[in-house]
Structure 1
Amino acid sequence: MEKDVPGEQWKGQFTTIQGSGQCSGCGKTIESLHLSPEEYEFLKEKIMRDVIDGGDQYKKTTPQELERFQNFVKCCPPFDIVIDGLNVAKTFPKARESQVLLHVVSQLAKQNLQLLVLGRKHMLTQHSRWRKDEMKKVQKQASCFFADNISADDPFLLYATLHSGNHCKFITKDLMRDHKACLHDAKTQRLFFKWQQGHQLAIINRLPGSKVTFQHIPSYDTVVQTTGDSWHIPYDEDLLERYSYEVPTKWLCLHRKT
């Protein structure tokens, strides 16, 4: 239903965005999530310099361990998916962590994808939540890097994903707000958010043992945008904050009356 905007020559309506990125209301195609090669290289260089090399990651790991990881990545073929192992393993709190991780890795391995699982060394120690036989099966189906238990996974995850190329996706529910904050200018923050939206896979099904399903990654950008004579504004019900990997289902389409 269209409504006039008081004091302005605009009409507004609630609408949806089709999979192609076209607005169902006005027919305009909204901005793509795809980064150009130039934008990707610019972002990669900034992340490597400001977050990996110049950020606070040494408080979460050591220079020696980061170097060990960088050498490990250089010896591997480019990855298709980088998996935050500890984050994924805790997807289903009532299930055993190693079982959940093995289930996710096994499903992805059937698609002949180059996988990297990032984890911590304690995941290799026999425990009621971590079974050695299941972790060995994980290691047979994916490249694995287990950091010291005091380390954080996200600098490694960012490095491996960006190093592998623009096709590489990553799986975690981590929002990476700390890393976005390390990027000091608005352009780089904007590109980081856009890259994150286009590359972050999050598990959304709730039943352990069932086929893993991921939050859909749209082809279009999900932030407020304008072409001058039109505005498209994601509309979030109840003013709840949307996670970076979540897609708005309703939009407000505003266009100037002719």
Structure 2
Amino acid sequence: MAAAASIPGGQWKGQFTTIQKSGQCSSCGRTLESIHLSPEEYEFLKETIMRDVIDGGDQYKKTTPQELKRFERFVNSCPPFDIVIDGLNVAKMLPKSRESQNLLAVVSQLAQQNLQVLVLGRKHMLTASARWRRDEMEQVQRQAHCFFADNISEDDPFLLYATLNSGSHCKFITKDLMRDHKACLPDARAQHLFFKWQQGHQLAVRKGFRGSHLTLLDPLHYDTVVQTTGDSWHIPYDEDLVQRSSYEVPTKWLCLQGKTQAPGPC
């Protein structure tokens, strides 16, 4: 942690700090705002995404109305999911490993926790090849619910629908930042809630030691935007213009505390 330094003007004292998993600042002890949406905020966001992204958006450029209806029937026939996986995206996270092997490793890790898992994929993933072994894909299908869309389709509308439809507990795994879908939302409030929901529900995946396996990171419990309580500010700080995905956690913060002014002479 860097040494404390006074901010010009004499009214604030700044210190670089870290934020604990609980959301508590290691410097001042204050707890950052929760990342979780209230039930009312969640329902508002769900209805907005269903209306403006799923039903009224450009999803038919990425799939067809018939396929989306088939998917809706599939989701309604399953129990609520705990985790929704963008199968093709996860499978390609370790380029030097076999795709089906990568996907199976993540699915098996989640299945051991007795979670209801949905894998979204494309039909070509079921065709045996050097990258997609039939026995490994059969193991994936035994351990998770699976939906394989047409090869020309994209997974985003399916992922959003399944995750939101399952309830606020459901998380999802993909490296996609979903900027296009955020842009479809009608106002600043909906976009802000989508960003918070994404941060609290998108599980980050990190390559293991020597890049030999994938590790799932727990989602955030606190918001990572600039926030203030009036007499304090907490500002995420990325050194050297490091590129950080919207769902990734800032490793360093700037904690600003208001300095109490001594009373002047009577």
Q: TM-score, normalised by structure 1?
A: 0.96
Structure 1 unaligned spans of 5+: none
- Give the length in aligned residue pairs: 257
Aligned to 2:50: 48
Matches of 2:172 and 2:102, distance apart in 1: 17
Contact 1:95 1:208 in 2 (8 A): no
Q: CA RMSD in A?
A: 1.3
Task: Say yes or no: does 1:66 pair with 2:68.
Answer: yes
Matches of 2:149 and 2:225, distance apart in 1: 35
Matches of 1:53 and 1:136, distance apart in 2: 33
Q: Deviations over 1:166-217 (max 9, x none)?
A: 110101111111111111211111111111111111220245664x412332
SS of aligned partner of 1:221? coil
AA at the equivalent of 2:157: P
SS of aligned partner of 2:36? coil
Aligned to 1:231: 233
Query: Map of 1:230-249 to 2, 5 A cutoff?
Result: 230-249=232-251
Matches of 1:80 and 1:43, distance apart in 2: 19
Contact 1:236 1:250 in 2 (8 A): yes
Contact 2:10 2:259 in 1 (8 A): no
Matches of 1:221 and 1:3, distance apart in 2: 25
Moved over 6 A (4+): none
Cα shift at 1:241: 2.8
SS of aligned partner of 1:204? strand
Asked which structure has the greater CA Rg, the reply is 2
Aligned to 1:22: 24
Cα shift at 1:145: 0.4
SS of aligned partner of 1:13? strand
- In structure 2, relative to structure 1, the CA distance for the partners of 1:71 and 1:45 (3 Å cut) is same
Q: Deviations over 1:36-58 (max 9, x none)?
A: 11111111111111111111111
Aligned to 1:177: 179
Query: Map of 1:145-156 to 2, 5 A cutoff?
Result: 145-156=147-158
Q: TM-score, normalised by structure 2?
A: 0.93
Q: Deviations over 1:40-77 (max 9, x none)?
A: 11111111111111111110000111111011100100
Select 1:9's aligned residue among 3, 8, 11.
11
AA at the equivalent of 2:174: T
Aligned to 2:264: none
AA at the equivalent of 1:173: K
Matches of 2:202 and 2:61, distance apart in 1: 25
